[in-house]
Structure 1
């Protein structure tokens, strides 16, 4: 411990080390990265008075051919040019073209690395080809849209050009600002088997010879045109999702007569497609306190066994949505429950085959209602009349008012009963929260998914995390927790969050988990819940039914919270820096009183606390001393040591006390303990300090220091800590709330890292000198057996 002269007690709370290399200002503004504000998108992050966006209304008539697993349709699109620009052509998305054998997605796809193949070796010691099955099947599957015609409102053909997953329609007359144009398209395509070709829609075939269809990206859709990018016609490669315009939909779907259809929008003709009993159950569900079964399992099982002849047409309408999807099957059990609160009046509904029970009937609709209840708190009231969860082959995918979710029970090998694990249960709840939550981001807050995946997946995963915490205490830990993302942030395979969807290396970590962790850190550690929740809700309110960009989010969060967060966005979103704060050392100080009685006693105690040298230990009692044999040699200095207080010392002290100012006298009386703590920023990402200080009495308390502590020296700082009693321990980030990637250097004194020493390791394989010979012999035996089998055939 070092004694500080009283004059040094006026030290600043932070002492910054002088960097030997060029200064890296982590707190500089994002001016060089963010676009210049305009009257369309303001500096505050809000839509400006000149904000505009396009609109597209759809009328669609389509038929589901179950036998051939195909869709045939005709649509009329009314496109509203609300931009200030004159458009001579329009771009339309043809997402099904990703399934053409020569699509970019197929021709640029790669197989797993050789290392990955080696890891895939199973008990048969062969390479498993599941990972490449999609590539093999895609070579022969006749996928993609067949565009039969494109015509204007008068039925005259329009010139069009198909560029892979995009189609340009040339207009006979330029479409002026404020004008609208109507045109029609006829098409058909073959539906993919989801478990074979993957993707975000498709069909599933069951052992009972029935199919379940989840249909999306099923009609030519208008590409987005907006102020930042113009036409968003980046090719669809599979990862980057969809950028769409809002509009009204009028949809008629013709399906097998015994099918039940779940769909975006409200059913317009229940009398034509539902029985009287089903309509009555649906009426009761609106005011029920628990889910009401509309189509029972017994009714669904009866239809599975005897197929009805003919078809039925289901008519739906949806207002102000950016997309439309549906599901259809005779296997569907259907339950529903109403939820009404504030401006939300919604019918939550679940559709699932019997293979989904007993899990789905217990948790699906309840999860929908919970999602809406929680998301409303943090954004806005759910604006649509229905919210649907469908169990089918698609593991998790979202569309307006409807989502496709995968988890199911598995059959017990002994009893044959369907049962589910803890992981499956919470997997279902979480995926429903996530996919229904997408109604808010991006189905209403309509970000450009083709460009920035994190703007919908990251923001939605963050609110999903909040909703999960409100489901039950100790909800199984989900990705996004700061402590969970720390391992990824150490990885060399990172790219910045602000990377286009198609260039992201680890999609789950980069687009889902890391943005979630960043927002949790921002909410819990940087801003606090009150400021964060107000700002986040302001963003959702400002941009509902509009198209925000990353800059709009960043600026709104700063504007509404009243906090400069450029350092946070730069570190978390634009770099691959990590949080790694090291506690390098601590020097203990106390304030020098100048009082010789106190100071010399303090020095004596310091001397007495020093270790006795090994020489003195061994000499004591064994080495004869001359002064002991001749006491006449002793004088004044033998009777008094260096710690004896003299009159001169007292006179000097009295003079010094007279010169002290009042604040210095007060500080002397308080008897504070001072510590200079050295910190290093090893990860590069500046972070607040969260310091747990432990005192000699056992008391612990938290001292929070804003990230701006690093503003003058982003790599090394020295912080002055003042305590009322001696400090015996200090831990940086004690709750693992900052995503610190190395907690082993966070404490003083250093803490041992706990682990387990496994004594019971699997037996190591013996050195088999005959291994190669035996393998060759086995190969010969296998070939011989195969030859004999062929001869037998």
Structure 2
């Protein structure tokens, strides 16, 4: 969902959901925590989900197929429907009941989830607000009415409605591999979406007396039953969106004859519902490179004044989708064009009233096409036949169709804010076809896997629409104000959606920013794009979890990113890297060489165990055992005898001098180093979030150099770090993070001005080789014995 149109009636943060624990083994230490592997924080790999992040050999998921018939009663604002559902149990489990979602109960005063937040009496109010508060305790007649529930033979089924959920008892246990077919008849009063809020409902236009219907969450829908949590049957409060099961749909929608209908999938009876002229234009649009108006503005305006009393039935089919949504109105202008993707044309279409014509006719369908193409490039080829944008003063997504906003002034003009907001919401909502409509994460549990990943791709798509597009989600600096908030106003990204206080920054902007930083600053575009595409490919049309994303990104890139997930997704730490000090030095070739250090080197004692264990004693006493050095006396050496005390060694300590193996640098070689400048840059991690340290040098001659220090510099000390530099030119200033890549919340401590007085940096020549690894240092007993 792009914009958060949340009614005052919608509950807030009472749900005791999942708040991921940032477990640390050594929290009192200044090292070893930030880079600790996620380990048991992630789910245990199994045959369904592997340690690599890929689906396992025994991965499974359920299927729910729908055959739905519904009628829109515009006069009485009522929707009636019947549906036959075929539920396939692909799990290894035996099911004795199934769960369905009745999301329209959100609007009922008696059947809603009843998750409440604190409320106060305002000092100033309106009568509408008072009436709304008073109405909360009265039955309002909204919500789903189940008028019939039977099995395939017509026998009644037992069911229980619990707020926004419905449990249906199996007539007999549903075994693995079996199908269950049942029929549901239902109806509900359609809500005024502009008053009560929510995603589905109607908008009334008093100027012409017409309605625009956006029908979402409108039929009883199967919940997901998965390997990682069983039934996803959390109540719907209006915020946390949907976990849904893939299936095939046939939907017959009966509406007033002058309505135009858009919906998930393809219409298979255009011949019956379109005029010959409209049908001809539609066929033209299927290969058009620019939008073609199938229903023109003139036709839409004419339909607004002539309200038909007849009906038509539009028939849709959709394969392998997780949901179905639709829109209906006589106000619609409808245009379309073809967007080629991997050798096939995707029908990109828009539906909008005259109020949005000045913006939508120019931009909407082109933005749909651009989004389908760009997301396909970054993930996988768009697999569906259509992608549709509906102007409905909204921002919400469903398979192949989404509801957006963007209306002009009455004179047809519009502000740049309106234009950019419209483009952003269209890109975002069309992009949701990929996440989560195809890569089908559980939005009710992990909103960020839906909104955050999609916001990240929205940012890249906006950038490719127009390099000057004012993107709000993605650039690191745009998340700084949120990251610097007090800790009691923050929660980790890995938090259940119902518990998040600042929903937009937490679920949308922060994860989008994190992924952009991962791509641009930490991994690089090539590695990131390959790994992200692999995640999308692996989990298309499946149900991924956060662990699947984290593991795939590491598996496909060869990068250990546990420190990044821990910091950005499991903690509330912020990036504040401070440039504390800079030491400056020039070479000094005449420094005093330190005097050697004299020590008394003792002779090593024989290397034998201080205590002879029972095995040694018994081996020696066992006459059947012959030791190798007794069989082959050539395998004996000095130390064989030394261990047995059969050789004499002078144990008198030897005086030895230990000094630096250096000497004065000859004048002929001094010129090579005379022009060098030496700098020690000292920095500290004040915010707690582990990030790369990006150092920009500006030299006295005006030139610049950038050094990118990987985040691993904090491995052994998570609070303080330093780096020594040898430069050929004198540095005028040093600045951290010059391109604002790390979301540093305090840039005032990122600059050093070059005012330090240089100290002496003594430089010598090494006079001898150092000891090789494993080589003895000092006098050994063998040397003493030889003497």
- Deviation sequence 1:233-277 (CA, Å, 0-9, x none): 011111110000100000000001111101111111111100111
Query: 1:119-178: CA deviations, max 9, x gaps?
Result: xxxxxxx43577777655655531110001110010000111111111111111111111
- Give CA-to-partner distance per residue, 1:532-569, whole Å, 9 cap, x none: 11111111011000110000000111111110000000
Residue 102 of structure 1: how far off its partner (Å): 2.5
What SS does structure 2 have at the residue aligned with 1:345? strand
Q: What TM-score results when the alignment is normalised by the length of structure 2? A: 0.81
| Residue 699 (str. 1) matches residue 703 (str. 2) | yes
**Equivalent-residue separation in structure 1 for 2:340 and 2:664 (angstroms):** 70
What's the counterpart of residue 194 of structure 1?
193
Check 1:253–1:681 CA distance in 2 against 1; reply closer, same or farther (3 A cut). same
For 1:521 and 1:132, how far apart are their aligned partners in 2? 46
Q: Please point out which of 534, 538, 541 is paired with 1:542.
A: 538
Q: How does 1:517-536 map to 2 (within 5 A)?
A: 517-536=513-532
Number of the residue aligned with 2:409: 410
Deviation per CA, 1:337-365: give whole Å up to 9, x if none.
01113154210010011111211111110
Q: Is 1:206–2:214 an aligned residue pair?
A: no
CA distance in 1, matches of 2:751, 2:131: 51
Q: Within 5 Å, which residues of 2 pair with 1:106-185?
A: 106=114, 108-111=116-119, 117=122, 126-127=124-125, 135=133, 139=138, 141-185=140-184
Q: What does the per-residue CA deviation read over 1:708-748, in whole Å, with 9 as the maximum and x for residues that have no partner? A: 00011101112212211221211000010100001011110
Query: Contact 1:480–1:512 (CA<8 Å) still a contact in 2?
Result: no
**2:304 matched to which residue of 1?**
304
Which residue of 2 is the match for residue 564 of structure 1? 560
Cα separation, partners in 2 of 1:133 and 1:44, compared to 1, 3 Å = farther
Unaligned runs of 5+ in 2: 1-26, 593-658, 756-787
Contact 2:113–2:235 under 8 Å retained in 1? no
Residues 134 and 196, structure 1, Cα contact 8 Å, conserved in 2: no
TM-score using structure 1 length: 0.80
Residue correspondences, number: 658
CA distance in 2, matches of 1:76, 1:110: 41
Residue 451 of structure 2: aligned partner: 457
Which position in structure 2 is the counterpart of 1:712? Answer: 716
Cα RMSD between the aligned structures? 2.2
2:39 maps to 1:31: yes
Q: 1:137, 1:356 → 2: CA distance? A: 34
SS in structure 2 of the partner of residue 419 of structure 1: coil
Provide the rounded CA distance (Å) in 1 between the counterparts of 2:540 and 2:145: 35
Q: Residue in 1 aligned with 2:681?
A: 677
- Map 1:572-611 → 2, pairs under 5 A: 572-594=568-590
1:85 paired with 2:89, answer no
SS of the residue corresponding to residue 510 of structure 1 reads helix
Q: Does 1:289 align with 2:289?
A: yes
C-alpha distance in 2 between matches for 1:514 and 1:254: 43
Distance apart, 1:106 and its partner CA? 4.8
When residues 660 and 548 of structure 1 are mapped into structure 2, their CA distance, relative to the original with a 3 A threshold, is: farther
Q: Kindly state the Cα deviation for residue 32 of structure 1 after the two structures are TM-superposed.
A: 2.5
**2:113 and 2:164 in contact (8 A); partners too:** no
Could you tell me how far apart the structure 1 residues matched to 2:360 and 2:455 are? 22
1: CA distance, partners of 2:184 / 2:71: 15
Matches within 5 A, 1:243-282: 243-282=243-282
- Whether 1:472 and 2:493 are equivalent positions in the alignment is no
- Assess, with a 3 A threshold, how the Cα gap between structure 1 residues 134 and 177 changes in structure 2: closer, same or farther: farther
Contact 2:589/2:665 (8 A) holds in 1: no
Looking at structure 2, the residues matched to 529 and 130 of structure 1 have their Cα atoms a distance apart, in angstroms, of: 52
More helix by share: 1
Structure-2 separation of matches of 1:39 and 1:381: 28
**Aligned in 2, Cα 1:132/1:40: closer, same or farther, shift over 3 Å?**
farther
Q: Distance in 1 between matches of 2:129 and 2:583?
A: 57
Distance in 2 separating the partners of 1:154 and 1:247: 22
CA contact (8 A) 1:162 1:168 kept: yes
**CA shift digits 1:608-629 (9 cap, x unpaired):** xxxxxxxxxxxxxxxxxxxxxx
Task: Tell me the distance in 2 between the aligned counterparts of 1:91 and 1:247.
Answer: 16
- 1:515 equivalent to 2:519? Answer no
On the 8 A contact 2:151/2:157 being kept in 1, the answer is yes
Q: How far has the Cα of 1:306 moved from its partner?
A: 1.3
Structure 2 residue 726 is the aligned partner of structure 1 residue 730: no
Counterparts in 2 of 1:243 and 1:659: CA distance versus 1, 3 Å: same
Structure 1 residues 390 and 658 mapped into 2: Cα distance closer, same or farther (>3 Å)?
A: closer
The CA distance in 2 between the partners of 1:48 and 1:591, in whole Å, is 61
Is the alpha carbon distance of 1:532 and 1:661 closer, same or farther for their aligned partners in structure 2, counting shifts above 3 Å? Answer: farther
What secondary structure, in the 3-state scheme, does the structure 2 residue paired with 1:357 have? helix
Residues 342-361 of structure 1: matches in 2 within 5 Å? Answer: 342-361=342-361
Alpha-carbon distance, 1:695 to partner: 1.5
1:660-706 residue CA offsets vs partner (Å, 9 max, x unmatched)? 699x9689536432211111101000110111111122210100000
Secondary structure (helix, strand or coil) at the match of 2:519 reads helix
Superposition pairs of residues 591-670 of structure 1, within 5 angstroms: 591-594=587-590, 659=663, 669=673
The answer to whether 1:97 aligns with 2:87 is no
**Post-superposition offset of 1:590:** 2.6
3-state secondary structure, aligned to 1:410: coil
Asked if 1:739 corresponds to 2:743, the answer is yes
Secondary structure (helix, strand or coil) at the match of 1:240 reads coil
Residues 152-161 or 24-33, more deviating: 24-33
Q: Check the 8 A contact 2:296/2:333 in 1, yes or no.
A: yes
Q: 1:51 aligns with which of 42, 46, 59?
A: 59
Cα distance in 2, alignment partners of residues 295 and 352 from structure 1: 10
Structure 1 residues 55-79: Cα deviation after superposition (integer angstroms, max 9, x where no partner)? 0000000000001111100000000
Task: Mark the CA change 1:343 to 1:573 in structure 2 (over 3 Å): closer, same or farther.
Answer: farther
Call closer, same or farther: CA 1:130–1:668 in 2, change over 3 Å: farther
What are the Cα deviations for residues 176-234 of structure 1, in whole angstroms up to 9, with x where unaligned?
11111110100000111011010011100002111110001000000000011100001
> C-alpha distance in 1, partners of 2:47/2:132?
47
Structure 1 residue aligned with 2:427, among 423, 433, 456? 433
Q: Aligned equivalents of 2:241 and 2:591: distance in 1?
A: 74
Give 1:327's aligned residue: 327
Change (3 A) 1:397 1:133: farther
